[in-house]
């Protein structure tokens, strides 16, 4: 991964976290890691645990950032979420998956929140 891509990703995650907090989310974890992978943001929204993937783009070259959360990514996010819920003994708690798309073009960053972007995918 190039330094520019890493910088874009980190900047997008910062913008996404601030946006979610303004929307009433309470950030619990950032960059949670387990054997199955990494989750950008874990938050609480009302009574639900929300597992958030952030996708950022500086151009339209690779398309709409939210479309990068394909079936493979959803499956991986599902496994990471289950790992987190099991580790924290929260398996009975309501949860969902959101995606935040951050576009850094043409000028100011634009943020799009997709609530309930997909359902849990079993391994």
Q: What is the pLDDT of residues 19-73, one digit of tens each?
A: 999 999 999 999 999 999 999 999 999 999 999 999 887 766 655 656 678 899 9
Q: What is the mean pLDDT of the chain?
A: 88
The CATH number for 3-118, chosen from 3.40.50.300, 3.40.50.620, 3.40.1350.10, 3.40.50.410, is 3.40.1350.10
pTM of the model: 0.90
Residue 65: closest CA among 123, 17, 5:
5
For 89-93, what is the mean pLDDT? 94
């Amino acid at each position: 991964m190039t330094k520019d891509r890493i910088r874009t990703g980190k900047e997008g995650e910062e913008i996404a976290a601030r946006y979610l907090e303004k929307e009433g989310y309470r950030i619990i974890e950032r960059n949670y890691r387990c054997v199955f992978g990494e989750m950008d943001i874990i938050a609480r929204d009302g009574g639900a645990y929300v597992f958030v993937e952030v996708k950022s783009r500086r151009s339209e070259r690779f398309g709409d950032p939210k479309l990068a959360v394909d079936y493979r990514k959803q499956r991986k996010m599902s496994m990471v979420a289950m790992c987190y819920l099991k580790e924290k003994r929260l398996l009975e708690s309501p949860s969902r998956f959101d995606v935040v798309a951050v576009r850094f073009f043409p000028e100011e960053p634009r943020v799009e929140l997709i609530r309930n972007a997909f359902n849990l995918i079993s391994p």
